[in-house]
Structure 1
Amino acid sequence: MFMMFAMTSDSVGEIIKEVKIAFDVTNAQASLMHSLPMLGIALSGLFLGFLADRLGRKRTIILGLGLFALACYMFMLGKTFWFIVSLMTLSGVAVGVFKTGALALIGDISTSNKEHTSAMNGAEAFFGVGAIIGPLIVVYLIHQGISWQWLYVVAGAMCTVLIVMASMVNYPDHRQVSEQANTQPAEKASMIDSLKLMKNGYAMSFSIGAFLYVAAESAIYVWMPSYLVCGATSASDAFACYQDESTQFLAMYAVSAFFILRAIGRFVGMWVMARFNWALILMLFSFAIMMCFIGGLWGGPQVAVFLFPLTGIFMSVIYPTFNSKGISCFPRKMHGTVAGLILFWTAAGAAAGPFIMGLVSDANGGDAKYGFIVATVFTMILFFGLLYNYIANPTEKRLAQIEKEEYGA
């Protein structure tokens, strides 16, 4: 599921180039193909995240996958720009539904908080794989003279297979487990529960952390190409500032290098998070990210071409761990609702971060460097937050309590 979602969401850059030509739309209009699906995911996570706790993981996942498959197949009917944007928004809502169900399910099948974090990194690793192969499929289709819309047909077919698989699997009963652990009946979840979580310090701390991380991460794959062209005004001299061909090649495929390193890092993260202190790892890795951003700004594009893609390794474990530890601060009967809240702030960061960077860059003559100053501030706040988390360890007692109640450890 994670890989299929990434195949479509992280291909939007390649798709936008084709849509702008086909429908003669402006950059602002084309950007809606990224921001509106993110808005759909955000609102779905906040207002529909409770479905995983109320209807159960299985029904919620099948509901979300069914809605996503419907949207995918309808892409072949897309003849207008606004129809396509509407389908992308609908797919975003669907993602919010099935992803909260999937995130909650990871908690149900885990036997400890450490295993939960390791499994979360594994799931996100497949997201990283989808982020690599999705754009490649789009490029291949275009070069073969085939419409990019067939990517969604492929995703729809995968979705149909996943629906069949999901319907055949026996899922653990999260309500029964929670009732046994707490010796009291589980209350039915509702939309109000999602809004109440806005007042919870544990939920909001990890949610804000996810916002800051995703805002910095999206700076790499959205604005790094603009920064690495060294201010060139034409495609012919876009990489003329790099002295050797190997560096020019890296500059051309810097985003792909970032996604590859992020995917590799997440598979490694499964092993790392099962064996080391998660708070220490996040603090050290966030420091490395911050230094890569500072170094890329200080040294200019010639240095950033190496440091910015390198952040993929250090970014790899941060978001899955935020998700895991944030969810693990609550009983399993609330995992869907909590996952929805974190997903809301995740999508908000993906939408707001690049938008703020764009505004700041435009206000300074369109230079992407100024946008990356904003992104660097995001990484600094993230680091100091994780430094405090490592020193004070405010979640230690909470996680230990949930570990004992939910996992019997």
Structure 2
Amino acid sequence: MRTTRIKISIFVNYFLFGILLNSVGTVILQVQRYFKVLPARASLLEACKDLSIAVAAFLVTSLITRVGYKRSMLAALALIALTCCTIPLIHTFPSVGVLFIVTGICFALVRVSVYGTIGLITSSEKEHISVMNFIESFFCVGIFLGYFLFSHFIDDRDAGSERWFQVYFVLGALAAGAFVYLWLAPLDESEARAGAAGGGRAWAEPGGAEWNAMLKLLALPTVVSFVVCAFLYVLIEQSTMSWLPTFNNKVLNLPSTISVDITSLLAAAYAAGRLLVGLVIRRLNWFLVLVVCLLATAALVLVALPLVERVSGLAVHSWAQVPPAAFLLPLIGFLLAPVFPVLNSIILSSLPKHKQGYMGGLIGIFAALGGTLGSRITGLIFQYHNGLTAFYFSLLPITLLLAGLFVFRQVRSRPARKAAPFVQFEF
């Protein structure tokens, strides 16, 4: 099967949703300025995004396996294009929440479909890990460029300016272009159909069989240990990425545009880390790489935050006045970058191709729950304590994730006879 065009298409899709999903940090800062909402209320935008991903990932998995990966992605792109073009005409705080709800639903459709598609266009675990890292690196490129895109529409001098809403017209046009390209890209899904539960009947029957198949995966110890790791990783990632613009603005006293632009370095670091791992992972031991990355992340937090504390009282008005400490925290992205795509590839490539879509649904659910909890906790600590305390909090889930990796490796290495399900699900 020729895969170049479909690979480019899913790269573009992930690029688009990288911008949309991770604009939440910038938007959290902007709604505090524009609508005068408190940090705890602003953090609800993360919940709008992540809880909609979690709910949709569960509900639409059966729909995706019956309708098909390509059609599901097309539906998501059409819906997000329409929503982006509508938001600038309304521009209220509830409408921003609706935008992130729709974004979460559409991303759930895209993520489950992409994870299933990767299984169709790769033939080995190493190739799967490599392609996954490249796709996730494009996601991070989208995040990186998204910060500059949003920053271009932000007015530092006028917190009440509506100009920043105009960015959604640009994103709507990008979604429309992605829709057209995907429409023209060929994808052979016959292998997924043939392997579906019931000899392919699941593509034509109600969704109970698919939900049953997805929940049965949770009976496997390997899957349970994996979803715990995925939950903790996204908790760390989103608590940092969503609140770094606010941290830069309120702790380091940087102007809003500079706060957003510096956060783009975090996304660039994620992209570079995933691209590098995508190139060299075939020669490396995945477990050693991830352990080293997490230990280095904890060390960087312990080094960077005391430096930030020393300069947090200084006023900054231009790039020339930005303290060097402001450039340290974004380096966390380079160290954390490989963790999520590598873990995803390992668990997905260990399953039959027709079950990888179901696993994608579980990944979406637990990643979304982790992102919601991480951002919510960070927002509450930010409001009732301070930004430094909120970022020190990341050391706790980093420690738990290290322990989770050891458990995941141990469970995964057990003989098949010892990896019996915990419990059976029936509908």
Q: Which residue of 2 aligns with 1:263?
A: 271
Structure 1 residue 204 and structure 2 residue 221: aligned? no
Q: 1:156 to 1:301 in 2, by over 3 A?
A: same
How far is the alpha carbon of 1:229 from its aligned partner?
Answer: 7.6
CA deviation map 1:221-276 (0-9, x unaligned): 244566668967xx4xx79xxxxxxxxxx999652322211111111111122222
**CA distance in structure 1 between the partners assigned to 2:64 and 2:284 by the alignment:** 31
2:107 corresponds, among 83, 92, 95, to: 95
- Higher mean C-alpha displacement, 194-203 vs 89-98: 194-203
Q: How does 1:7-86 map to 2 (within 5 A)?
A: 7-86=19-98
Taking only aligned residues, the RMSD between alpha carbons, in angstroms, comes to 3.2
Alpha-carbon offset, residue 394 of structure 1: 1.7
Partner residue of 1:147? 163
2:412 corresponds in structure 1 to: 394
- 8 Å CA contact 2:14–2:136 kept in 1: the answer is yes
Q: CA 1:84–1:269 in 2, change beyond 3 Å: closer, same or farther?
A: same
Distance in 2 separating the partners of 1:124 and 1:24: 34
After superposition, the Cα gap between the structure-2 partners of 1:382 and 1:318, relative to the gap in structure 1 and judged at 3 Å, is: same
User: Equivalent residue for 1:185?
Assistant: 199
The TM-score with structure 2 as length reference comes to 0.79
Q: Paired residue for 2:420?
A: none
CA–CA distance in structure 2, aligned partners of residues 166 and 55 of structure 1: 16
57-66 or 148-157, which deviates more? 148-157
Q: Give the SS at the match of 1:274.
A: helix
Which 5+ residue runs of structure 2 have no aligned equivalent?
A: 1-12, 203-208, 311-323, 417-427
The C-alpha deviation readout for 1:288-344, integer Å capped at 9, x for no partner, is 223223444566646965653222111111111122122223211121111111111
Cα 1:395–1:49 shift into 2, 3 Å: farther
Residue 40 of structure 1 deviates from its aligned partner by: 0.9
Show the counterpart of 1:171. Answer: 187
Q: Which runs of 4+ in 1 moved over 6 A?
A: none
Is residue 350 of structure 2 the alignment partner of residue 329 of structure 1?
yes
1:384 aligns with 2:416: no
> Residue 111 of structure 1 aligns with which residue?
123
State the alpha-carbon separation in 2 of the partners of residues 84 and 299 from structure 1: 35
The residue type equivalent to 2:127 in the other structure is E
Confirm or deny that 1:284 pairs with 2:298. no
Match of 1:129 among 141, 149, 163: 141
| Aligned counterparts, 1:346-361, within 5 A | 346-360=367-381
Task: Compute the displacement of 1:132 (Å).
Answer: 1.0
> Could you say what secondary structure the match of 1:207 adopts?
helix
Following the alignment from structure 2 to structure 1, what is the Cα–Cα distance between the partners of residues 407 and 99? 42
Structure 1 range deviating more: 50-59 or 88-97: 50-59
Counterpart in the other structure of 1:314: 335
User: How far does the alpha carbon of each residue in 1:105-146 deviate from its partner, in whole angstroms, 9 at most, with x for none?
Assistant: 011100111111110100010111111111211111235977
The aligned amino acid for 2:335 is: F
Measured in 1, the distance between the counterparts of 2:38 and 2:292 equals 41
Asked if the contact 2:29/2:246 (under 8 Å) is kept, the reply is no
Residues of 2 paired with 1:119 and 1:85: CA distance? 33
Does the aligned pair in 2 maintain the 1:52–1:337 contact within 8 Å?
no
Query: How many positions carry a matched residue from both structures?
Result: 380
Moved more, 202-211 or 260-269: 202-211
Check 1:389–1:297 CA distance in 2 against 1; reply closer, same or farther (3 A cut): farther
Gap change, CA 1:198 and 1:388, over 3 Å in 2: closer
Distance in 2 between the 1:113 and 1:212 partners? Answer: 23
1:3 lines up with 2:15 in the alignment: yes
Distance change (3 Å), C-alpha of 1:141 and 1:295: closer
Contact 1:228 1:301 in 2 (8 A): no
Bigger mean CA deviation after superposition, 380-389 or 118-127: 380-389
Match of 2:281 in 1: 273
2:208 is equivalent to residue 194 of structure 1: no
Q: Retained in 1: the 8 A contact 2:309–2:388?
A: no
Distance 1:213 1:115, change over 3 A: same
For the residues of structure 1 that align with 2:150 and 2:65, how far apart are their CA atoms?
36
Name the counterpart of 1:342: 363
1:216 deviates by: 1.4
Cα contact 2:120–2:192 (8 A) shared by 1: no
Task: State the match for 1:245 in structure 2.
Answer: none
Distance, in Å, in 2 between the alignment partners of 1:176 and 1:17 is 45
Give 2:233's aligned residue: 213
Q: Would you say 1:375 and 2:387 are equivalent positions?
A: no
Q: C-alpha distance in 2, partners of 1:380/1:137?
A: 35
Aligned to 1:246: none
CA deviation string 1:154-185 (max 9, x = no partner): 22222222222222222122335637xx9x82
Q: Secondary structure at the match of 1:53?
A: helix
Judge conservation of contact 2:231–2:370 (CA < 8 Å) in 1. yes
